Amino acid sequence: MGFNLTVNGDRLSSAADPATPLVDVLREEMHLTGAKPVCREGFCGACMVLVDGEPMPSCLLPTALANGREIETVEGLAPHGQLNRIQAALEAGDAVQCGMCFPGMVVSLTHLLTTRPDATRDDIRAALTGNICRCTGYERIVEATLLALATR
Amino acid sequence: MMAGTPIRNIPVAARDTPTSIYIAPSLTAALDALNDCGAAGSPLAGGTWIMRSPIRHEPLRPHYVAIGRIAELTAIRIGSDAVEIGAAVTHAALAAALADLPEFAGLAAAAGRSANPAIRAMATIGGNLAASDFAAADCVPALLCLDAEVEISGRDGCERISLAHFLEVRSTLASGRLLTRIIVARAERRTAHIRLPLRRSGDYPVAIVSLSVRVDAANRINVARIAVGSVESSARRWPRLEAALLGRPLDAAEAARIAAELSDEFTGRDSVDAPAWYRVSVLPGLVRRAAIAALGS
């Protein structure tokens, strides 16, 4: 049995085992390596993608339950090379770090900007509790998000 | 070289046998499928526990029956007499539904502060109660101190049992039986749920104290329910502390003092994130914080 996924607007199919985590299908079959399988426990957020518009750790989603759903990975957030609002703010704020956690951060914050245009600093920090940074911390990321919110 | 056994970050596809996942369109279909699968099958709701089986070095079952799209299992009914929660309701949905009900402040906090936002949008209340090896489940102590009951369904009908009894039998539940609903009677009470994670949020809690009290006109406690989670392998009530608080004013410092005297009845569990003694030693402080929160509710 195969599965049909819409990934970054493209309709794709997979013949993976139904219990295969979505992150493995994205990386191994679709060569979308932005989502990283790091903790495989839903703690670190490095594998975060949007599923039907909601942030979801793709390490915990069996491919069978992704069938027929809209998946958006970090690769799909800048169509035609045009950075979205949070990507541009993170770049402008020199907040981009090693790249391990960052795709997941961008996915979570893209959702926050879409759904919470009035988000406060505390809201931003709460939204990032499932995205763990191993480099330098969160302050520049939070500041860049506040900048993005202010420059609507 | 590091000591110990490193976690192997391997994709599921590289593992042994294929797994089937049947997405049940209705409760009847789910119960039929679970019955047909027998011991080889298991329900799959949010998947946040089952999908981590490989890193616990546990094999996946051959068959799963996905119950997350069954309408009656994802509904919450808030009645004048009781709140009924479908087993596939997510933590996020439960926290949102209870936000305006002060008597459920403890349960709302348990559902709304566990794990992280994305996990709360996936993980279900039924999964939280049914995962017998998950000692740090937030909703278990929160529901224990609300005297919750659960409904267990099978092809031959359903039965309602107390949550405390369910916790005793959950790991030996017969094949084809499914936790379908959680029922909590409405009552006037003050509730609180206090958890101590190692980080401010996002981690498993080292220890949890859930509290539900009713006070009389003189502000003396006449009903007390206190449950402790994450300290031992399964959450449980703290009857000696409950009895000791009866007839006293709800006073945080006094509650903590009594808790300190009685906390030696707990035998903490050791794990990499916290030693056994530490889990027990923080209980009086959590009781104090729970009482303060209940006073403010």
Mean pLDDT value of segment B232-242: 98
Let me know: does A15 contact A2? Beta carbons within 8 Å: yes
Pick the last residue of a domain from A76, A99, A117: A76
Inter-chain touch A24–B116, beta carbons under 8 Å: no
Where do runs of H (alpha helix) occur along chain A?
A: 22-24, 63-66, 85-92, 102-115, 121-127, 139-150
Question: Scanning every residue of chain A, which has its alpha carbon at the shortest distance from the alpha carbon of B22?
Answer: A64
Determine the Cα–Cα distance for residues A75 and B135; give it in Å rounded to an integer.
38
Instruction: Tell me the mean pLDDT in the region B238-261.
Output: 97
CATH number of the domain within which A12 lies: 3.10.20.30
- Predicted local distance difference test score (pLDDT) of residue B3: 35
Whether residue B249 is contained in a domain is answered as yes
Does residue B1 sit within a domain?
no
Q: What is the CATH number of the domain that holds A105?
A: 1.10.150.120
Could you tell me the residue range of the domain that residue A24 belongs to?
A: 3-76
Residues of A in contact with B20 (CB under 8 A): 18
| Confidence band, pLDDT 50/70/90 cuts, at residue B179 | very high
Query: Does residue A107 sit in the same domain as residue A137?
Result: yes
Looking at B30, B49, B66, the residue that finishes a domain is B66
Q: For position A114, what pLDDT does the model report?
A: 95
- Do the beta carbons of residue B22 and residue B31 sit within 8 Å? no
Q: Among A24-38, A133-147, B48-62, B236-250, which is the least confidently predicted range?
A: A133-147
Q: What is the pLDDT of residue B6?
A: 37
ipTM of the complex: 0.96
What is d(CA B130, CA B124) in angstroms, rounded to the nearest whole number? Answer: 10
For residue range A60-92, list pLDDT tens digits in order.
999 999 999 999 999 999 988 899 999 999 999
> How far is it, in rounded angstroms, from Cα B204 to Cα B198?
8
Do both A106 and A134 map to the same domain? yes
Contacts for B219 with CB less than 8 Å, ≥ 6 apart = B249, B250
Lowest mean pLDDT among B2-11, B46-55, B73-82: B2-11
| Cβ-nearest to B202 among A17, A61, A130 | A130
Residue in this structure with the two tokens 């893209």, named with its chain if needed: A110
Question: Which of A96-100, B114-118, B181-185, B211-215 has the least mean pLDDT?
Answer: A96-100
* A127/B64 CB distance under 8 A: no
* Domain range for B81: 75-185
Residues B164 and B79 in one domain: yes
Compute the distance between CA of residue B91 and CA of residue B87 in angstroms, rounded to an integer. 10
Whether pLDDT at A126 is above 80: yes
Of A21, A38, A45, the CB nearest to B11: A21
Q: Given a cut of 70, is residue B294 above it in pLDDT? A: yes
CATH code (residue B53): 3.30.43.10
Q: Which amino acid is at B192?
A: A
Q: Which residue has the tokens 């988000």?
A: A119
pLDDT-derived band at B4 (thresholds 50, 70, 90) equals very low
The model's confidence at residue A97, banded by pLDDT at 50, 70 and 90, is confident
Same domain, A58 and A94: no
Residue B71 one-letter amino acid: A
- A44 and A85 share a domain? no
Average pLDDT over residues B203-224: 95
CB contact under 8 A, B11 and A28: yes
Chain B positions touching A65 (Cβ under 8 A) are 21, 23, 47, 66, 68
Number of domains into which chain B is organized: 3
Q: Do B13 and A28 touch (CB under 8 A)?
A: yes
| Whether A115 and A68 share a structural domain | no
User: Rounded mean pLDDT of B257-277?
Assistant: 96
Q: Is the pLDDT of residue A38 over 90?
A: yes
Residue B120 belongs to a domain: yes
And the tokens for B260? 């300190």
Q: Find the mean pLDDT for residues B154-169.
A: 97
Closest CA to B138 of B150, B152, B122, B124: B124
Q: Name the minimum distance, in Å, from the CA of A35 to any CA of chain B.
A: 14
Residues of B in contact with A64 (CB under 8 A): 21, 23, 66
Q: Indicate whether B4 belongs to any domain.
A: no
**Range B108-121 average pLDDT:** 96
For chain B, the C-alpha Rg in angstroms (whole number) is: 20
Give the mean pLDDT of B177-185. 98
Do A24 and A84 share a domain, yes or no?
Answer: no
Residue B123 lies inside a defined structural domain of this protein = yes
- Domain total of chain A: 2
Question: Strand ranges (DSSP E) for B186-261?
Answer: 190-197, 205-215, 221-229, 236-237
B199-209 pLDDT, tens per residue? Answer: 766 678 999 99
Question: pTM to 2 decimals?
Answer: 0.94
Query: Which of the listed residues A57, A76, A95 is the one where a domain comes to its end?
Result: A76
